[in-house]
Amino acid sequence: MALKTGDEYIQSLKELDLKAHVMGQAAGGLTSHALVEPSMRAVAQTYDCAHDPQSKDLFRVISPLCNEEVNRFTHLHQSAQDLVNKVRMQRHCGNLTGCCFQRCVGMDAANAVYSSTFDIDAATGSAYHQRFKEYWAWVQKNDLVVDGAMTDPKGDRGKRPKDQTDPDMYLRIKERRQDGVIISGAKLHQTGMLNSHEILIMPTISLRPGEEPWAVCCAVPTTAPGVRYIYGRQTSDTRKLESCRLDVGNPKFGGQEVLTVFEDVLVPWERVFMAGETAFSGTLVERFASYHRQSYGGCKVGVGDLLIGAAALAAQMNGVAAASHIREKLVEMIHLNETLYSCGLACSAMGQPTASGNYLVDMLLANVCKLNVTRFPYELARLATDIGGGLLGTMPAAADLEDPVAGPYIRKYLKAADGVAVEDRFKVLRFIENLVAGAGSVAYLIESMHGAGPPTAQRIMIGRQGDLEGKMQKVKSLLDLA
């Protein structure tokens, strides 16, 4: 059963019956929880797209691991075209959901772990790669959602993992046993964790000799004993709890972030893919980061398409669509968005095979892509806010529309262009508000800045990959310099 439908996926989550702390209370029944359900529906779209005649060819691919047709979100890239199709798929999902659809991190983690375990085995004679191949073939056959878990709390950022007052500030191997390892620690910013079946844990930094306990990569079921979940707040998130959906902004879908705690969790050896090999931790981190920075050239572009469309609709409803300054702003938004997409496609098209056989993006261009993502969506949001107008911050509650006293005044004074229903104007402005200042801004803006690493991380990688020495040598050769 390699290709679930959205409904089958939702049923599989119901069977997991995960529990979490949500806004100060222990909560179960998460698949119907008003704060969690919208994000679950966004993930379900990634399943339904594999059955939609309009998109299934993009979402389905034959896996060399299990020799079956699988969802591309579980695929190990076999060509540069696979990398390109990944970005195309992510833009499509962004167009459909207007939010984070939560399966990218696991896909990116899997591709990084696949090639990194191959390299570890080649250097040390370990058996990690075969373990991971067997594990990931099982993931593909069951069409599972895997949450990639990399970001540690880090504690005092001025100290290394071994120097922290609390060693759990970086997730670590606390104990080695005959039946596996005991891990302890936490992972922050876990996108879609409560919508996942599995967790693929990775180190978060390049580790040094003496830091072997923190060089751990392994897979844990989301139902594993000792794993605890604490749901993250988002701006305006309690609007999802209100009976009127008009004020939510995105009436169907949403994102999800979770603090995940690992309290003495047993991981069997067959699910351990790195256990102390510090020399390869940096390779794994850099490869994952590059894949995930490529991803932002697709998913953020897809959401950007919707923000541009909403801004254009707002201008039309306000009666100013023909104004030259509005047209210029919309063209600028399109230009910025397509530039991001171009970077995502470029680093994909220039991808090359690793020693393991799967393809890795051009790491320099992937980091250029993500560095642009730390800027351009903010400019798109600024322009959309400009076009949308001050009502984005002052619009009355949707419930007042039906109030016998306030309703008539709202319908009279918030009317704009002829033929435009006030309710429709509400919908468009609330959607823009959602993306630039509400719950949707977590995935669109905050993720754009910090997801896959903040701007400094990309600058460091661009400095490493930019080949300054090679560029200087070209000048020397051109000018006959010694």
Model confidence pLDDT, tens digit, residues 425-443 = 999 999 999 999 999 999 9
Taken as a whole, the chain contains a residue count of 482
Which one-letter amino acid corresponds to residue 445? Answer: L
Q: How confident is the model at residue 327 (pLDDT cuts 50, 70, 90)?
A: very high
Query: d(Cα 460, Cα 115) in Å, to the nearest integer?
Result: 22
In a shared domain, residues 29 and 153: yes
Q: Catalytic site residue 198? A: no
**Alpha helices, H only, 259-360:** 281-318, 324-349
407 pLDDT higher than 70: yes
Query: d(Cα 339, Cα 442) in Å, to the nearest integer?
Result: 22
In a shared domain, residues 322 and 182: no
Query: d(Cα 14, Cα 11) in Å, to the nearest integer?
Result: 5
Q: What angle do CA 321, 322, 327 make, to 5 degrees?
A: 75
Average pLDDT over every residue of 254-278 = 98
CB 51 within 8 A of CB 5: yes
Nearest to 177 by CA among 246, 272, 256: 272
Q: What is the CATH number of the domain that holds 287?
A: 1.20.140.10
In a shared domain, residues 174 and 40: yes
Sign of CA dihedral 471, 477, 480, 482: positive
Q: What is the dihedral of CA 133, 187, 344, 436, to 10 degrees?
A: 150
123 pLDDT higher than 90: yes
How far from chain centre, in Å, is Cα 224?
23
Q: Catalytic site residue 292? A: yes
Q: Please pick, among 104, 217, 218, 347, the residue that the annotation labels catalytic.
A: 104
**161's tokens:** 């993992």
CB 372 within 8 A of CB 357: no
Is 480 part of any domain?
Answer: no
Which one-letter amino acid corresponds to residue 144? Answer: L
Q: Catalytic site residue 100? A: yes
Query: d(Cα 149, Cα 439) in Å, to the nearest integer?
Result: 22
How far from chain centre, in Å, is Cα 15?
24
Is 481 part of any domain?
Answer: no
Return the exposure string of 298-309: e unless at least 16 CB atoms fall within 10 Å of the residue's CB, then b.
bbbbbbbbbbbb
How far from chain centre, in Å, is Cα 214?
24
In this structure, the strands spanning 272-275 and 216-221 are antiparallel
For helices 324-349 and 376-388, what crossing angle results, to 10°? Answer: 160
In a shared domain, residues 299 and 191: no
Is 426 part of any domain?
Answer: yes
Q: Catalytic site residue 291? A: no
Q: Catalytic site residue 433? A: no
Neighbouring-strand partners of residue 26: 21
Which one-letter amino acid corresponds to residue 143? Answer: D
In a shared domain, residues 81 and 18: yes
Q: Which residue has the tokens 């609330």?
A: 430
Return the exposure string of 401-440: e unless at least 16 CB atoms fall within 10 Å of the residue's CB, then b.
beeeeeeeebeeeeebeeebebeebbbbbbbbbbbbbbbb
Give every CB contact of residue 11 below 8 A, 6+ residues apart in sequence: none
Is 1 part of any domain?
Answer: no
Average pLDDT over every residue of 58-62 = 98
So what's the pLDDT on residue 244?
A: 87
**Known binder of ligand: residue 204?**
no
SS3 143: coil
So what's the pLDDT on residue 482?
A: 87
In a shared domain, residues 291 and 175: no
Q: Please pick, among 231, 291, 296, 341, the residue that the annotation labels catalytic.
A: 296
Query: d(Cα 302, Cα 305) in Å, to the nearest integer?
Result: 5
Average pLDDT over every residue of 27-55 = 98
Q: How many CB atoms lie within 10 A of CB 31?
A: 20
Query: d(Cα 203, Cα 282) in Å, to the nearest integer?
Result: 8
Q: Please pick, among 49, 93, 99, 100, the residue that the annotation labels catalytic.
A: 100
- Residue-number span of the structural domain to which 163 is assigned: 6-279
Q: How confident is the model at residue 243 (pLDDT cuts 50, 70, 90)?
A: confident
Q: Catalytic site residue 296? A: yes
Q: What angle do CA 210, 215, 217 make, to 5 degrees?
A: 165
For helices 281-318 and 376-388, what crossing angle results, to 10°? Answer: 20
245 pLDDT higher than 90: no
Query: d(Cα 53, Cα 72) in Å, to the nearest integer?
Result: 15
Q: How confident is the model at residue 1 (pLDDT cuts 50, 70, 90)?
A: low
CB 148 within 8 A of CB 108: yes
* Ramachandran class of 181: left when φ > 0, alpha when ψ lies in -120 to 50, beta otherwise: beta
Q: How confident is the model at residue 278 (pLDDT cuts 50, 70, 90)?
A: very high
Question: Of 279, 311, 331, which marks where a domain is finished?
Answer: 279
In a shared domain, residues 153 and 69: yes
Is 482 part of any domain?
Answer: no
In a shared domain, residues 355 and 229: no
**282's tokens:** 């940096």
In a shared domain, residues 299 and 193: no
In a shared domain, residues 319 and 269: no
Is 478 part of any domain?
Answer: no
Is 337 part of any domain?
Answer: yes
234 pLDDT higher than 80: yes
In a shared domain, residues 162 and 257: yes
So what's the pLDDT on residue 2?
A: 76
Q: Please pick, among 37, 198, 211, 447, the residue that the annotation labels catalytic.
A: 447
What's the start-to-end Cα distance of the chain, in Å? 64
Specify the pTM. 0.97
Is 96 part of any domain?
Answer: yes
Question: Of 237, 253, 279, which marks where a domain is finished?
Answer: 279
42 pLDDT higher than 70: yes
Query: d(Cα 27, Cα 228) in Å, to the nearest integer?
Result: 12
120 pLDDT higher than 80: yes
Q: What is the CATH number of the domain that holds 85?
A: 2.40.110.10
CB 164 within 8 A of CB 155: yes
Q: How confident is the model at residue 261 (pLDDT cuts 50, 70, 90)?
A: very high
In a shared domain, residues 467 and 407: yes
Question: Of 279, 313, 340, which marks where a domain is finished?
Answer: 279
Sign of CA dihedral 130, 149, 166, 265: negative
Q: Which residue has the tokens 């876990």?
A: 190
Structural domains of the chain, count: 2
